[in-house]
């Protein structure tokens, strides 16, 4: 296990505290990246104590049993109007950074008042881009992780902790 349930909750509370300080009770639009950040989104917005709206965007690069990212697909149909709003982009994990690198310019084209990012996890030594997340709850080792919204082949999202999958656990069906 990499992070237990109590550690995650403490990290999300720290993250919420940083975000509250940044926005100082200003209205905020939180845009969460589907599907991995749904659990984080639910816990985070309950702690923010600022007027907020929620939007969703789907961006995925891992498909089926893949453990290495492929081409990024982005679907933004579930976004509210962002022009003139403070926007916080929330994602589950900053791995290579390509998801954040692709999403930030697309959201900037929608003319938000401000745009910042927050991630639950940041993998050490995996970054392949110059983009940096503004808020990070945890640095983790370079392992394939599941739980707390993160999955492998659509399994493990419901785990209340974050664990690394061993290579033999990724052979065959994980269900």
Write the CATH number for 123: 3.40.50.2020
Instruction: Assign residue 154 a region (left: φ > 0; alpha: ψ between -120 and 50; beta: otherwise).
Output: left
Q: How do residues 110-136 score in pLDDT, each as one tens digit? A: 999 999 999 999 998 888 999 999 999
Encode pLDDT of 30-55 as tens digits: 999 988 999 999 999 999 999 999 99
- pLDDT-derived band at 60 (thresholds 50, 70, 90) equals low
With 90 as the cut, is the pLDDT of residue 71 above it? Answer: no
Q: Looking at residues 159-167, what average pLDDT do you find?
A: 93
CB 137 within 8 A of CB 119: yes
Q: How confident is the model at residue 92 (pLDDT cuts 50, 70, 90)?
A: very high
Domain count, the chain: 1
pTM for the full predicted model? 0.88
Q: How far is CA 113 from CA 26, 27, 59, 107, in A?
A: 12, 11, 23, 11
Q: Which domain holds residue 79?
A: 5-141
Examine residue 107 and state whether it is found in any structural domain, yes or no: yes
pLDDT for 174 equals 44
> Is residue 167 in some structural domain?
no
Examine residue 173 and state whether it is found in any structural domain, yes or no. no
User: How many distinct helices (H) and strands (E) make up the chain?
Assistant: 3, 8
Looking at 95, 142, 151, 173, which residue is catalytic? 95
71 part of a folded domain: yes
Cis peptide before 94 (omega within 30 of 0): no
Q: Which parts of 63-113 are beta strand (E)?
A: 73-75, 86-94
Residues 6+ positions from 154 with CB-CB distance below 8 Å = none
Active site residue 171: no
Q: Is residue 166 part of a domain?
A: no
What's the confidence (pLDDT) of residue 18?
Answer: 97
Residue 116 located in a structural domain: yes
Q: Is residue 17 part of a domain?
A: yes
Domain for residue 54, yes or no? Answer: yes
Residue 140, both tokens: 């983790």
């Amino acid at each position: 296990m990499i992070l237990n349930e109590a550690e995650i909750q403490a990290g999300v509370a720290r993250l919420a505290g940083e975000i509250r300080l940044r926005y100082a009770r200003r209205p905020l639009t939180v845009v969460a990246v589907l599907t991995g950040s749904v659990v984080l989104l639910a816990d985070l917005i309950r702690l923010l104590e600022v007027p907020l709206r929620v939007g969703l965007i789907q961006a995925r690069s891992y498909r089926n049993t893949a453990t290495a990212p492929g081409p990024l697909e982005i679907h933004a149909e579930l976004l509210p109007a962002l022009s003139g709003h403070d926007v916080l982009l929330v994602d589950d994990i900053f791995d290579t950074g390509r998801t954040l690198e692709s999403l930030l310019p697309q959201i900037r084209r929608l003319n938000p008042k401000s745009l910042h990012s927050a991630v639950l996890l940041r993998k050490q030594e995996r970054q392949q881009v110059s983009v940096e997340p503004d808020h990070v709850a945890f640095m983790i080792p370079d392992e394939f992780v599941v739980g707390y919204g993160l999955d492998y082949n659509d399994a493990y999202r419901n785990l209340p902790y974050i664990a690394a999958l061993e290579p033999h656990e990724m052979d065959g069906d994980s269900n």
